[in-house]
Structure 1
Amino acid sequence: MTEEIAVPTGVRDAVTVRMPADSAYLSVLRTATAGLAARLDFTLDEIEDLRIGVDEACAMLLAQALPGTDLTTEFELTGDGMRVAVSVLTADGRLPAQDTFAWTVLSALAGDVDTHTGVDDRVVIVLHKRRGSTESV
């Protein structure tokens, strides 16, 4: 079943990448993240921060992904930044702990970070990085 995604106003482009929930494919996602960030004129430091942030979000989610499922990443490009929502199907819909070192690093790299549970115990981590909004770590 395909979900319809409402694209918020101000979104220039929306890109979805779906791949097996396996860390062997993360290099493809890092490359896509960098390419899209470059399209928005992010600095090299901001691009690297976003690549690492997306990688960290994926690592958190892959640890609880159901075997044989997909990792879905939705990129929304806006005039001032990028919103990235990474999600996987899980057995119990448990959200990643936000009081960990990994979450602190993720927040420092990506700007605004949030998490929620969607349909069928799909866990989502949402990053919103704005151009020039934070210093590189």
Structure 2
Amino acid sequence: MGPPSQGVATKDDIELRLGAELEHLPLIRSLASSIAMRADFDLDMIADLKLAVDEACSTLIVRAVPETRMVCRFALGKGELRFTVSVVTARDTPPSTKSFGWQVLTTLTDSASSWIEGHTGNGQASWVYVELTKRRPETSG
């Protein structure tokens, strides 16, 4: 069963489901890079996006319930790439926006947010999300 926020994808969305393990980070970074290249992001923006995706995934992997899956979604829009990552967690709060890692995310992307869904407050597991958006600069023709 997937996370509650992630409904039907558009035809251009790409979703990857894999174990919430640090050894999978190179695969996710590689996919982020490939998608950004195809969307005509420049090399600096691609490098920023790869670092941000790595930081977002690392942040959630350490919060994940053992043996759980991580769900990564890449969504291309007009001049932007949105990346959403989620894992099942036993914690009842999203990642701190005051941490160094969060400062890295907000520096490397145009927007970053995090939230929890499905938490009952009874020690039950819920989904924790991080969503990043990276926009191409508008070019005047």
With normalisation by structure 1, the TM-score equals 0.88
Would you identify which runs of 4 or more consecutive aligned residues in structure 1 move more than 6 Å?
Answer: none
How many angstroms apart in 2 are the aligned matches of 1:20 and 1:67? 9
Partner of 1:103, secondary structure, is helix
8 Å contact kept, 1:38–1:47: yes
Alignment RMSD (CA, Å) = 1.7
Matching residue of 2:113 = 114
Give the letter for the 1:111 counterpart.
D
8 Å contact kept, 1:12–1:79: no
Gaps of 5+ in 2: 119-124
Alignment of 1:32-111 (within 5 A): 32-111=31-110
With normalisation by structure 2, the TM-score equals 0.85
8 Å contact kept, 1:84–1:127: yes
Matching residue of 2:128 = 123
Give the letter for the 2:90 counterpart.
A
Over the matched positions of the two proteins, sequence identity in percent amounts to: 33
Tell me the CA shift for residue 6 of structure 1.
4.6
Tell me the CA shift for residue 94 of structure 1.
2.2
Gaps of 5+ in 1: none
| 1:47-97, Cα deviation, whole Å (9 max, x unpaired) | 010000000001111111000001110111112110100110001232100
Tell me the CA shift for residue 128 of structure 1.
0.7
Q: 1:5 aligns with which of 7, 10, 25?
A: 7
Larger radius of gyration: 2
